[in-house]
Amino acid sequence: MGTDRTHEIATLVVRHRVKAGSEDAYEIWLRRTIDIASRYVGHMGVDVIRSRHEGLALFTCVLRFSCTLHLQAWLDSTDRHELVDDVAPLLADGDHTDISQAREFWFVPPADQPQPPRWKQACVTFLVILPLSLLVPLLWQPLFASVPSLGGYVASNILITLSIVLLVVYLFMPLATRLFSRWLNP
């Protein structure tokens, strides 16, 4: 029996090599694009990885949507088509996109490189989650002491787990993948 993939996180990876001298104009375009994309249903965030490829600035943007249908709505939108038309003069070799439903969306390699080995992905994930699993419960303790109803087994675990997940997804994992990018993708 096939699985319904319409409800899995869908990831769009966009790679742009920017012409020399056009980096500032591209950054302005990028901020506008991120703002517009964030208004679309199912949008879950954008990570931007800045690097260099063959002497030019390479921007790898990882856009996550809650499902393939929401990602497709963004891809087919008039907004996106107009944005791609606007940025075309700034790009050295056009708009390159890849769509993925892989769960390893934090570990998107630069162009023409394979996915990092799973053991490296596991190491980075462990380094992010371990300190949070030790610190977050301690940070919640004063609230649990002052509001006993939140300190119960279920309520406290929901708050702690929710805190860790949000910190991992929106803050620490994007930072860690940038920090370890040379090790992940030598």
Q: Domain residues for 10? A: 5-100
- Within 8 A by CB and 6+ apart from 51, the residues are 57, 58, 60, 110, 181
- Residues 9, 83 within the same domain: yes
Structural domain ending residue among the three candidates 73, 100, 127: 100
47 or 147: whose pLDDT is higher?
147
Q: Does this model's pTM top 0.85? A: no
Residue 167 has pLDDT above 90, yes or no: no
- Residues 95, 128 within the same domain: no
Q: Measured between alpha carbons, how far is 30 from 34 in angstroms, rounded to an integer?
A: 6
What are the pLDDT digits (tens) for 85-123?
999 999 999 998 887 655 555 565 555 566 678 888 889
Has residue 113 been placed in a domain? no
Q: Measured between alpha carbons, how far is 135 from 167 in angstroms, rounded to an integer?
A: 12
- Rg of the chain over CA atoms, in angstroms? 19
What are the pLDDT digits (tens) for 131-145?
999 999 999 999 999
Instruction: Work out how many domains the chain is built from and give that number.
Output: 2
What are the pLDDT digits (tens) for 9-33?
788 889 999 999 999 999 999 999 9
